């Protein structure tokens, strides 16, 4: 074979090796770079995406300026600029209005990672002033080259000025160096409320001086703080005062400096409790292998769903695990890099030594020797591939650890939600208790003026008052502490003001599956078990990778050149080499490697069993605690019901006692009964808290805490169960007249899936003034509350629309309702709302005479306005309206005015077939501007065209299912409303 053929063969072999290497690189790139970066990296940002999905991303534009050398330049494509966190970046966010117009401008502070809103309000009534530029200044410590070098010398304090308008336009307006600073300035801190910028200046000896300038970079001052010690660093947590670190006490501590009077005080975080910071926060969205900044707005009130999304996105411990997960993903790509071929080269000289022969001419005989080539390991390809698979499982373990951290932190945050809700409820309980204690103390104080016999009782009453105040203060401090913990869990600054949504959560209604099924769910879903499983699987790949002490085999292709110069070759070769080595400990290494990993796999199997057992035992304990809390709830609920009735009876006796009986009666009997009831309410609130916490614990032990928001919402008092219904009750006297009548009503309500009853109290609410009916109504109210049924007052008389005294009658009726509610403490069952049943369309002349209709409509709206004004925000106000108000154009103006005055409308969709009802209600829901109930008529007394009568219970159930199914999921739809109890009672409970 000739020299040329050898070169072709060598080149072909080299290309084959390079081709294999290329395929290997492409495989690594496909598996690691694409699959991992595009797919595996997505869970790194799953928390941020959950936050965006829950709170919703704002419409905003990002504006970025960058300090480069001696100039400040605007970045043309900020979405492609990832370094918004860098100190040389100046970043603004223009958060747009809901209608798409440009809104407020916010500056991103890279030191605190907060958004600072820039004020740009027009001065005076002239709208043109809104576009006049406003000034925003920043001070940065920059090197002469314009880069942020806090560790280097020769820093300068530079004032950067920007101009912006109320429409959100911003531009760089200039910079100026602050001169005359003795030392090297660093850490500028803006106190914008004071118009000052503080900074530290470091002299040649490393001693720091505290200095300041105004917003114009003038009025340079050095602040001598006396015995403040050596100041290490400064910052501000409220924009008004300066916080600095020093060794004033002999150890590092934080102090607060008031720039107005120079006063120095010990720093306390409580000084800055909930300052009402900007509600906008910055998070990230991941898409197509890249992240982009996203601005979201915190809600005014936070519920469980908001809290969960914040914890997933911003919790520090979760962020730490997320960063470790991201590092593990990078490690996957590193693991297979040794499979790449290595490039090597060698260059030198070859010269005869002449030790044993006289060759002479050392320099003249010196040759240039060079070598360049590629070497591809062969035996290590399988090993590195297995190590890469093991690295994938390491990343899987890191993800499971991230999931476990999320599981734990979300559960912790929701438990805090229940604890804070309990303290909110107890605040109301303690306010009522303190009123009761105060009345008792006042009673004994009055008696003590007559004689000293009641001195001990007065001291006892005062002691209870003091203890009550102490408990209230403890609850307040505990509330602040729990909120601080919750803000930490949510990744919010302590200055952020948060208000939790007030909600009654009926966790006693929660049930869990069979314990065996829950165990299966825990084993399949708990991240701790998944992490232990991943570690066990990883051991198999590490075992398959083989020992580090092993045989080596390398294929290499190299080009070798030797000559006097580059154009005068002595040798010019292509070398193809297959080389290898085998350790003398090769077999022993393989045997020990196998034994080692066999033991490791056995230990990991044992560990998996231990972890699985721990999870299942913890689940059993959580279930046991939850069941115990449910039993405790039943006992506390019965206790509360007993003391509520005891308080009612005490009030009754007090109201009917004669003068002789009053002298023998305990004057504090009502006070004592109410106190016992309030204590019972507090006990019930505590067990409700325990139910919530223990419910969360069960979900945590199955590894599914992130699903809690959807589950808990189903037990919320704010959750609108569109399968529930309301019921008209015109014959209220009959329903409340006897215990049997009340029991029959409750049976019918339960059978009809009723959660609201509109009880007719007569035109002037006289049922609330006549003592016998008042007490019976109170019993009825308490019984309905026990079954979760709201009782609303139903008012309205046809003559009100034409009677000049109607306003007075309506006012009297509403006032009696308010007085009835006011006679009870805030924790007793009360009338929940008011419904006005007036039908101007039923008055003769409304359909045919425009003047009559106009007068009736005016009278109707005047009555609604009086009701709305009289009730205010104390309770909701609803009305009944016919379908025609929505379907006929001439009446829609009336309907819109009704909607503005009320909180909801029951549409009297009175037809004789479900199909007619469905067609009519579809139009109503399109036109509706608020909550809507669909009223159905079942009375035999109604016109045949307006009622679904007659039907038996099965037919009724089919109609209800058909109609509900048509409207479920429509936001305005609040459920069905049945007219009325007297019509449904026979079919629902068989009582006539």
Indicate if the pLDDT at residue 1 is higher than 60. Answer: no
Point out the least confidently predicted range of 142-151, 215-224, 524-533, 753-762. 142-151
616 phi/psi in degrees, rounded to 5? -70, -40
**DSSP single-letter state for residue 773:** H
Residue-wise pLDDT tens digits, 925-960:
988 888 999 999 999 999 999 999 988 888 898 999
**More confident: 107 or 132:** 107
Interatomic CA distance for residues 695 and 693, integer angstroms: 5
Interatomic CA distance for residues 722 and 341, integer angstroms: 67
In this prediction, residues 377-399 reach a mean pLDDT of 89
Indicate if the pLDDT at residue 226 is higher than 80. Answer: no
Which pLDDT does position 37 carry in this prediction?
Answer: 37
Interatomic CA distance for residues 280 and 294, integer angstroms: 10
Residue-wise pLDDT tens digits, 664-679:
668 889 999 999 999 9
Evaluate the CA torsion angle 502, 503, 507, 508 in order and state its sign: positive
Indicate if the pLDDT at residue 355 is higher than 70. Answer: no
- Cβ burial, residue 287 (10 Å; 0-12/13-18/19+): exposed
Residue-wise pLDDT tens digits, 830-862:
999 999 999 898 888 888 888 999 999 999 999
Which pLDDT does position 42 carry in this prediction?
Answer: 46
Strands (E), 508-636: 552-565, 568-581
Strands (E), 754-888: 754-760, 790-795, 833-836, 877-882
In this prediction, residues 416-423 reach a mean pLDDT of 95
Indicate if the pLDDT at residue 504 is higher than 60. Answer: yes
Q: Which helix (H) or strand (E) is 932 found in, with range?
A: strand 932-937
Which pLDDT does position 39 carry in this prediction?
Answer: 38
- 218-226 long-range contacts (CB < 8 A, ≥24 apart) are 220/178, 220/180, 220/181, 222/182, 223/198, 223/257, 223/262, 225/257, 225/262, 225/264
* Strand, coil or helix: 411: helix
Which pLDDT does position 979 carry in this prediction?
Answer: 92
Q: Which helix (H) or strand (E) is 729 found in, with range?
A: strand 725-729
Contact predicate 200/234, CB 8 Å: yes
**DSSP single-letter state for residue 76:** S
Alpha helices in 449-562 (DSSP H): 455-489, 515-525, 527-545
Which pLDDT does position 687 carry in this prediction?
Answer: 96
Residue-wise pLDDT tens digits, 239-249:
788 888 888 88
Which pLDDT does position 580 carry in this prediction?
Answer: 87
Point out the least confidently predicted range of 29-33, 107-111, 510-514, 693-697. 29-33
Indicate if the pLDDT at residue 98 is higher than 60. Answer: no
Contact predicate 671/444, CB 8 Å: no
- Count the neighbouring beta carbons within 10 Å of the beta carbon of residue 783: 19
* Strand, coil or helix: 886: helix
332: tokens are 């996957």
In this prediction, residues 874-902 reach a mean pLDDT of 92
Rg, the chain, Cα only: 40
Cis peptide before 445 (omega within 30 of 0): no
Point out the least confidently predicted range of 264-268, 399-403, 657-661, 742-746. 657-661
Tell me what percent of the residues of the chain surpass a pLDDT of 90: 40
Alpha helices in 250-314 (DSSP H): 304-314
pLDDT band at 85 (very low <50, low <70, confident <90, very high): low
Indicate if the pLDDT at residue 272 is higher than 90. Answer: no
Taking each helix axis as running N to C, give the angle between helix 953-967 and helix 914-927, from 0 to 180 degrees, rounded to the nearest 10: 30
What Å distances lie between residue 940 and 881, 912, 948, 978, CA to CA?
21, 11, 9, 13
What is the rounded end-to-end Cα distance, in angstroms, of the chain? 116
Q: What is the mean pLDDT of the chain?
A: 83
What Å distances lie between residue 990 and 937, 952, 987, CA to CA?
19, 11, 6
Evaluate the CA torsion angle 861, 863, 866, 870 in order and state its sign: negative
949 phi/psi in degrees, rounded to 5? -65, 145
Which pLDDT does position 360 carry in this prediction?
Answer: 53
Interatomic CA distance for residues 885 and 846, integer angstroms: 13
Which pLDDT does position 713 carry in this prediction?
Answer: 87
Which pLDDT does position 944 carry in this prediction?
Answer: 92
pLDDT band at 36 (very low <50, low <70, confident <90, very high): very low
Contact predicate 300/499, CB 8 Å: yes
Indicate if the pLDDT at residue 80 is higher than 80. Answer: no
Which pLDDT does position 867 carry in this prediction?
Answer: 94
**More confident: 495 or 714:** 714
**More confident: 356 or 526:** 526
pLDDT band at 338 (very low <50, low <70, confident <90, very high): confident
**DSSP single-letter state for residue 435:** H
Point out the least confidently predicted range of 71-85, 299-313, 615-629, 736-750. 71-85
User: With a threshold of 0.85, does the pTM exceed it?
Assistant: no
What Å distances lie between residue 467 and 438, 472, 521, 676, CA to CA?
12, 9, 47, 17
Residue-wise pLDDT tens digits, 571-619:
888 888 888 888 889 899 999 999 999 999 999 999 999 999 999 999 9
**DSSP single-letter state for residue 587:** H
Indicate if the pLDDT at residue 275 is higher than 80. Answer: no
């Amino acid at each position: 074979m000739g020299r040329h053929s050898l070169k072709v063969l060598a080149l072909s072999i080299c290309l084959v090796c390079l081709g294999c290497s290329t395929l290997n690189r492409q495989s690594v790139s496909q598996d690691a770079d694409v699959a991992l970066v595009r797919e595996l990296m997505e869970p790194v940002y799953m928390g941020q995406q959950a936050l965006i999905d829950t709170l919703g991303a704002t419409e905003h534009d990002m504006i970025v300026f960058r300090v480069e050398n001696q100039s400040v330049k605007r970045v043309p494509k900020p979405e492609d600029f990832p370094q918004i966190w860098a100190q040389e970046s100046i970043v603004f966010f223009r958060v747009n209005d809901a209608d798409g117009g440009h809104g407020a401008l916010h500056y991103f502070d890279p030191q605190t990672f907060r958004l600072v809103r820039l004020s740009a309000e027009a001065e005076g009534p002239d709208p043109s002033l809104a576009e006049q530029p406003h000034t925003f200044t920043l001070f940065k410590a920059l090197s002469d080259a314009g880069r942020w070098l806090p560790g280097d010398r020769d820093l300068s304090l530079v004032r950067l000025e920007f101009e912006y308008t109320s429409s959100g336009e911003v531009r760089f307006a200039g910079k100026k160096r602050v001169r005359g600073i003795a030392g090297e300035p660093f850490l500028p801190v803006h106190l914008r409320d004071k118009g000052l910028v503080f900074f530290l200046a470091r002299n040649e000896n490393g001693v720091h001086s505290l200095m300041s300038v105004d917003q114009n970079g003038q009025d340079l001052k050095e602040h001598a703080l006396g015995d403040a010690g050596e100041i290490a660093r400064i910052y501000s947590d409220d924009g008004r005062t300066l916080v600095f670190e020093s060794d004033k006490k002999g150890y590092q501590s934080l102090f607060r400096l008031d720039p107005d009077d120079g006063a120095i005080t010990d720093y306390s975080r409580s000084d800055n409790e909930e300052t009402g910071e900007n509600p906008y926060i910055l998070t990230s969205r991941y898409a197509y292998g890249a992240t982009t900044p996203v601005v979201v707005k915190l809600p005014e009130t936070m519920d469980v769903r908001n809290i969960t999304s914040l914890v997933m996105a911003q919790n520090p411990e979760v962020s730490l695990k997320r960063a470790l997960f991201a590092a593990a993903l990078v490690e996957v790509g590193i693991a297979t890099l040794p499979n790449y071929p290595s490039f090597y080269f060698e260059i030198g000289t070859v010269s005869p030594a002449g030790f044993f022969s006289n060759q002479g001419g050392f320099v003249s005989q010196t040759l240039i020797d060079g070598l360049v080539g590629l070497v591809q390991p062969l035996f290590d390809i399988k090993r590195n591939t297995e190590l890469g698979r093991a690295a994938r499982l390491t990343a899987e373990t890191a993800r499971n650890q991230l999931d476990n951290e999320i599981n734990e932190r979300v559960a912790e945050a929701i438990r805090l939600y229940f604890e804070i809700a309990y303290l909110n409820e107890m605040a109301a309980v303690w306010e009522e208790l303190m009123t009761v204690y105060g009345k008792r103390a006042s009673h004994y104080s009055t008696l003590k003026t007559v004689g000293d016999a009641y001195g001990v009782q007065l001291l006892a009453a005062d002691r209870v008052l003091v203890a009550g105040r102490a408990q209230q203060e403890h609850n307040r401090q505990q509330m602040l502490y729990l909120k601080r913990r919750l803000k930490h869990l949510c990744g919010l600054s302590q200055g952020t003001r948060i208000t939790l949504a007030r909600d009654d959560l009926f966790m006693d209604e929660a049930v869990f599956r069979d314990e065996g099924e829950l165990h299966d769910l825990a084993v399949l879903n708990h991240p701790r078990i998944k992490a232990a499983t991943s570690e066990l699987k990883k051991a198999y790949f590490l075992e398959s990778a083989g020992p580090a002490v092993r045989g080596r085999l390398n294929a290499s292709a190299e080009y070798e050149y030797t000559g006097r110069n580059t154009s005068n070759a002595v040798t010019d070769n292509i070398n193809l080499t297959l080389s290898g080595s085998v350790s003398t400990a090769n077999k022993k290494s393989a045997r020990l490697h196998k034994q080692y990993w066999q033991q490791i796999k056995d230990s990991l199997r044992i560990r998996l069993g231990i972890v699985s057992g721990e999870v299942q035992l913890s689940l059993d304990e959580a279930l046991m605690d939850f069941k115990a809390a449910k039993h405790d709830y039943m006992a506390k609920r019965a206790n509360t019901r007993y003391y509520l009735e005891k308080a009612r009876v005490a009030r009754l006796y007090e109201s009917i006692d004669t003068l002789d009986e009053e002298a023998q009666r305990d004057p504090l009997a009502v006070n004592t009964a109410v106190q016992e009831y309030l204590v019972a309410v507090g006990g019930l609130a505590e067990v409700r808290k325990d139910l919530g916490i223990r419910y969360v614990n069960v979900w945590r032990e199955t590894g599914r805490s992130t699903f809690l928001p959807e589950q808990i919402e189903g037990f919320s008092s704010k959750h609108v169960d569109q399968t529930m219904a309301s019921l008209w009750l015109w014959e209220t006297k009959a329903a409340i007249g006897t215990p049997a009548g009340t029991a029959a009503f409750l049976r019918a309500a339960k059978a009809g899936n009723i959660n609201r009853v509109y009880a007719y109290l007569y035109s002037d609410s006289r049922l609330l003034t006549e003592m016998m009916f008042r007490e019976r109504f109170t019993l009825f109210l308490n019984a309905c509350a026990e079954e979760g049924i709201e009782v609303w007052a139903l008012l309205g008389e046809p003559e009100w629309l034409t009677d000049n005294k109607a306003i007075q009658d309506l006012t009297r009726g509403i006032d009696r309702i308010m007085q009835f509610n006011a006679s009870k403490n805030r924790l007793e069952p009360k009338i929940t709302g008011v419904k006005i049943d007036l039908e101007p369309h039923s008055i003769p002349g409304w359909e045919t005479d425009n003047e009559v209709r106009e007068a009736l409509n005016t009278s109707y709206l005047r009555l609604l306005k009086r009701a709305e004004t009289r009730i205010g925000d104390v309770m909701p106000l609803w009305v009944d309206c016919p379908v025609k108000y929505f379907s006929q154009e001439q009446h829609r103006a009336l309907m819109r005015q009704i909607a503005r005055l009320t909180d909801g409308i029951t549409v009297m969709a009175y037809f004789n077939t479900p199909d007619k009802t469905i067609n009519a209600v579809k139009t109503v829901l399109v036109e509706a501007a608020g909550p809507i109930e669909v009223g159905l008529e079942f009375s035999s007394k109604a016109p045949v065209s307006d009622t679904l009568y007659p039907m038996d219970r099965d037919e009724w159930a089919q109609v209800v299912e058909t109609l509900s199914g048509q409207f479920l999921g429509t936001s305005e739809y609040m459920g069905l409303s049945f007219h009325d109890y007297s019509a449904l009672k026979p079919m629902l409970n068989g009582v006539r």
